[in-house]
Structure 1
Amino acid sequence: MTRIGRSDLDVFPLALGGNVFGWTADRDASFAILDAFHAGGGDLIDTADGYSAWVPGNSGGESETLIGEWLASRKPSRVVVATKVSTHPEFRGLSARNIRAAAEASLKRLGVETLDLYYAHFDDPETPLEETVAAFADLVKDGLVRYTAVSNYSADRIRSWVELAQAAGFDLPVAVQPHYNLVHRNEVEDTIVPVAEEFDLSLVPYYGLASGFLTGKYRSAEPAEAGSPRAQGAAAYATPQGLRVIDTLEEVGAAHGASIAATALAWLRQRPTVAAPIASASRVEQVPDLLASARITLTSEQIAELDRVSDWTPSA
């Protein structure tokens, strides 16, 4: 188990991404994935109020609704639900009024009385940060939210949030959710990690498998092999340097009897300040591999080798 920041949230060191629920995973598949994740020891589920409004026919909130139905059906013990605000079509941005309304809507969809971890999903330059910070603090004060967090914020804006909260006597955020993986390291390690270390924030990174590239599935940058937009994004990393990362993951994983994907997530989990990488599964058959990543401990030599081959900046 791992603790998120200064909170009392002790969680399995892998978060299940809920972005696929109501999109590439229908209700039955979503329930099967959630069942398998929980049965395997997983207890941290990450979603957002905007998932999955981009799907034709959806209006946003589908992921939260499915998770809420699963919670009501299964009544699982020890589940931590993290969700986010700012991208639902009806609740865009981070004004105080919007944050309150969005949180109440998320609580209703999830069928819970309190949100365990509530993220500001994307920074909102149109709303004064003071207003956003105070609105999140009010949610904590009123018992709607246990802990606050930020996602996709720059290091400077995280620092500003913390300083505003400190000055006002508000609870500080406990987590940061950045885009971070073996082929997307520099910005996070150079700017976000130092701030997280200074203020005892945990990283809960998304895109831990680089849109699928770090599964080893995409070893060509040819568009014909890429196919879908997601696959095209993954294939963009298939440069000679990117493929060296895959080859090294394969070698390191073999020493642990682990897949390329599980090894990539294990590397990420062992980075400074990282509490639990986020990974999604569209099929229940993918869940055991994700869970396995949380139980792999790479040696210092293996980590150093992966650090060495991934010390580059992709053109993508």
Structure 2
Amino acid sequence: MEYRRLGRSGLKVSILSLGSWVTFDTQVDDELAVKCIGAAGDAGCNFFDNAEAYAGGKSEEIMGRAFRELGWPRWSYVLTTKLFWGIHGDVPNMRNTLNRKYLMHAIDGSLERLGDDFVDVVYCHRCDPDTPMEEIVQTFTEIIEHKKAHYWGTSEWTADEVRSAIDIADRHGWHKPVTEQSQYNLLERRKVEKEFARITDDFGYGNTIWSPLASGLLTGKYADGIPEDSRGALEGYEWLQDRLSDQDVIERVERLRPISERLDCSMAQLSLAWATKHPMVSSVITGASKVEQVEQNFAALDVIPKLDDDVMGEIDEALGR
């Protein structure tokens, strides 16, 4: 396993990591969570991602119980969560916000569900145009100084919003965000490769990317429709179905199959390995509903050395880039 610095911080994270979006509670119970996290740890993973909003807080609870069952020393892994959406219904100050009142309640709630005293990184799950950026940066500085988190980051912010937060932090001597969490995969590249290029150059901003398999589309399993046991068939995720059944996109993805077959890997492994090749990516967050999926995903580590410039060019050509 390769470990990369999270931006310009000194924190090192595994190049492949494990997240709980969609899977924990929906598809993964306590017993399976222990096995999946354990399998990831066996592969060298030290970075585990969660969020307050995942399964209405139940995902954090399951992950917290899994770590206690595994008995790993707390210093041996990096634990993260994200705040913004809220889980208390349509209540003023507790939903879709980053105001100080919400954040102070939310971080305590996440830590209680995780059964931990701190997270290593706390992310803003989205930006909040209704809260002054100065209030956001100051509050995350206080969260860090109160030892409830070691670092803070952003998720799906614009480059301008990140730059504003960093400028305010520099002006006041507050803690700066160190990493973004953007969607990035073979089909969705603009934000990481274009919009955030200058932010990375100027500030060394990290990125722990999500949806590296485009919600499973890049695995090739949707070529013949949406399988009953897949993410696209889950209740509450109907919004994915149009994309997962887009025949034009499916045909483009299928052009990757000969490349993966020649490299003796799955299309999922090819896509995960590809995502690690970008120097702006600190870690690629994987998801899995079975231990076998965890093991198969982390086998992408063996594919990374095979992706030389010629193969990377061939992948782009296959997708019409």
Q: What TM-score, normalized by structure 1, do the two folds share?
A: 0.89
Decide whether the 8 Å contact of 1:221 with 1:237 is kept in 2.
no
Identity %: 30
In structure 2, the CA distance between the partners of 1:183 and 1:73, relative to structure 1 (3 Å rule), is same
Identify the residue that residue 115 of structure 1 maps to in structure 2: 119
In structure 2, the CA distance between the partners of 1:296 and 1:124, relative to structure 1 (3 Å rule), is same
Counterpart code for 2:46: D
Residue range with higher mean Cα deviation, 62-71 or 26-35: 26-35
Identify the residue that residue 17 of structure 2 maps to in structure 1: 15
Identify the residue that residue 59 of structure 2 maps to in structure 1: 63
Q: CA deviation at 1:13?
A: 0.7
Identify the residue that residue 283 of structure 2 maps to in structure 1: 276
In structure 2, the CA distance between the partners of 1:233 and 1:43, relative to structure 1 (3 Å rule), is farther
| Whole-Å separation in 2 of the counterparts to 1:160 and 1:143 | 24
Counterpart code for 1:299: D
RMSD between aligned residues? 2.2
Secondary structure of the 1:277 match is strand
In structure 2, the CA distance between the partners of 1:292 and 1:194, relative to structure 1 (3 Å rule), is farther
Match of 2:52 among 49, 54, 57: 49
| Whole-Å separation in 1 of the counterparts to 2:78 and 2:133 | 27
Decide whether the 8 Å contact of 2:255 with 2:319 is kept in 1.
no
Deviations 1:217-246 (A, max 9, x none): 11257999975527624424431x652343
Decide whether the 8 Å contact of 1:211 with 1:230 is kept in 2.
no
In structure 2, the CA distance between the partners of 1:293 and 1:162, relative to structure 1 (3 Å rule), is same
Q: CA deviation at 1:196?
A: 2.3
The answer as to 2:197 corresponding to 1:193 is yes
After TM superposition, the structure 1 = structure 2 runs for residues 1-316 of structure 1, keeping only pairs within 5 Å, are 1-19=3-21, 20-52=23-55, 60-77=56-73, 78-90=76-88, 91-92=94-95, 93-219=97-223, 229=238, 232-239=241-248, 242-248=250-256, 250-297=257-304, 298-310=307-319
Counterpart code for 1:63: S
Residue ranges of structure 1 left out of the alignment (5+ in a row): 53-59
Counterpart code for 1:88: G
Decide whether the 8 Å contact of 2:34 with 2:69 is kept in 1.
no
Secondary structure of the 2:18 match is strand
**Count of residue pairs the alignment pairs up:** 303
Secondary structure of the 1:171 match is coil
Residue ranges of structure 2 left out of the alignment (5+ in a row): 89-93
Deviations 1:107-153 (A, max 9, x none): 12112222101100011112111111110011111211101100010
Q: What TM-score, normalized by structure 2, do the two folds share?
A: 0.87
| Whole-Å separation in 2 of the counterparts to 1:251 and 1:7 | 39
